[in-house]
Chains A and B, each alone.
Chain A
């Protein structure tokens, strides 16, 4: 686990100030945060790690960090408004304070996989935890081979970071394919579940590392498809995001077979967890 800020108690939240909050889709928003407590001005993280966000007086939620990991201090979270805590955060205004504990967890293997082709497979809000890895790859583009980003969502209205998606193709010599499960005739992109564009992407399983994130069912189908086209299990990484409470492996809420998702994950290499992947969250 990446060492947190030095000498900071991982159970005590530090304060960040909301600098901007805006809606990506009908029920997904991005919150941009700046340090309020001096210690957070040195905050840094690895792509794929998460914070515990604390709505003071309400509660905490584990949310992946979704910004450029090379920047220190300010960062953002893209959040699905789905429960009491996330709803509370969604109602915040500029200048409001949020508690932060973190960063926690394992990260995408962006350094170990230099020299390889990379395939990012994202579904719905799963693009958010992958975005820091994408930024890292863009910043170090020459260190990687072919880059393919495959992104699926339910409808065009559920796509995240639309302006950025349109630029990635052009600016960074990457192939970006987007598909939605359903659309009307105004949508000119692909229609079909994300597994349909995995096959279409003509990947080289012998030299490609896949990084997968999204709803577990989407990850399951995507991993099945990757293996069907020849990906070894050891070349597939995924981010498991289940119910986390303490984030430091004490409470056991995120126990996942022999692992704790908060500290052994959330990013796992698939061969390590394939036998327990179908365990349902309690």
Chain B
């Protein structure tokens, strides 16, 4: 069985986190595999976990009603899938469909939130990291809105 602490340490999201915190987080971690065309989660479902992608590709999509399904972002290896587990009411805002078989580490949201309550420094370290992810995704969304390929 793979050592989860080693895998967590090797993921870019946690690569610079202190060992003591890695060990705490490992208690909430598990290996998961999802197959192509599977849905990891659906819009509106409870956001119980987030995922550190190791391999594969996931598409975030929304139901565009008469416009069909709209793909808004893809997530690949080394990236994070999901932050709704940390923000009330802990509900997913998109569907996550697997485009290429995914191997990931799943981290249980409730388990982590309890650990953050017990050790606020751990909570702070994780929140700083998630803030960076949220900022990156917000910037990407803003650039998409600008439509930078449109002339004039």
Contact = CB atoms under 8 A, between A and B. Distances in A.
B151 A191 contact: no
A154 interface: yes
A188 B76 CA distance: 12
A154 B147 contact: yes
Given A187-B71, A195-B143, A82 B151 contact: yes
Contacts of A192: 73-74, 140, 144
A216 to B, nearest CB: 9
A113 B143 CA distance: 31
Interface stretch (A5-13, A65-73, A176-184, A244-252): A176-184
A221 B141 CA distance: 13
B70 A184 contact: yes
Contacts of B61: 185
Interface string A146-190: 000000011000100000000000000000000101111101111
Interface in B69-102: 69-74, 76, 78-79, 97, 99
B144 A193 contact: yes
A193 B73 CA distance: 9
A243 to B, nearest CB: 13
Contacts of A153: 149
Contacts of A105: none
A2 B119 CA distance: 65
Nearest to B36: A188
Nearest to B95: A185
A217 interface: yes
Contact of A182 (B72, B78, B97): B72
B115 to A, nearest CB: 29
B62 to A, nearest CB: 11
B20 interface: no
B1 interface: no
A214 B143 CA distance: 14
A184 B62 CA distance: 10
A132 B18 CA distance: 48
Interface pairs A-B: 8 shortest CB-CB: A217-B148, A185-B69, A124-B149, A154-B149, A193-B143, A190-B74, A191-B71, A183-B71
26 contacts: A82-B151, A154-B150, A158-B149, A182-B70, A183-B70, A183-B71, A184-B70, A184-B71, A185-B69, A185-B71, A188-B99, A189-B74, A190-B74, A190-B76, A191-B72, A191-B73, A192-B144, A193-B143, A193-B148, A196-B140, A200-B78, A214-B149, A217-B148, A218-B149, A221-B143, A221-B148
